[in-house]
């Protein structure tokens, strides 16, 4: 799974680097799906006491990452940069 997410996020990074119109929305989707995948794994497979203790920190970090990505890529100036040129 690490290889899949590595390739997916690298493709998103290339889209952002070259300001392709799909770069912005694919990054939003990939990061959100990546975090959802991580949380499915946490909820299904974390069985240790330490995993339960770090759950509030993990929730906070996930929300911070999503807020940072969605907030920065949803700015009006960023959206204009990624609009398709006609």
Number of structural domains in the chain: 1
* Confidence at 84, pLDDT banded by 50, 70, 90: confident
Which residue, 85, 84, 86, 64, is CA-closest to 22? 84
pLDDT in the model for residue 85: 64
Mean pLDDT, rounded, for 32-55: 94
CB-CB contact of 28 with 70 (8 Å) = yes
Residue 48 is assigned to a structural domain of this protein? yes
Residue 86 is assigned to a structural domain of this protein? no
Residues 45-75 have pLDDT tens digits of 998 999 999 999 999 999 999 999 999 999 9
Mean pLDDT, rounded, for 5-15: 97
Residue 43 is assigned to a structural domain of this protein? yes
Residue 42 is assigned to a structural domain of this protein? yes
Residue 28 belongs to what domain range? 2-81
Residue 30 is assigned to a structural domain of this protein? yes
- Judge whether residue 86 has pLDDT over 60: no
Which residue, 30, 33, 32, 38, is CA-closest to 13? 30
Element (H, E) at 50: helix 49-53
pLDDT in the model for residue 20: 94
């Amino acid at each position: 799974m690490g290889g899949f997410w590595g390739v997916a996020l690298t493709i998103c990074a290339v889209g952002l680097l070259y300001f392709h119109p799909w770069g912005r929305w694919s990054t939003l989707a990939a990061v959100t799906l990546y975090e959802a995948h991580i949380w499915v794994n946490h909820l299904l497979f974390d069985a240790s006491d330490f995993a339960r203790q770090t759950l509030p920190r993990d929730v906070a970090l996930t929300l911070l990452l999503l807020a940072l990505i969605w907030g920065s890529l949803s700015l009006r100036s960023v959206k204009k940069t990624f609009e398709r040129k006609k």
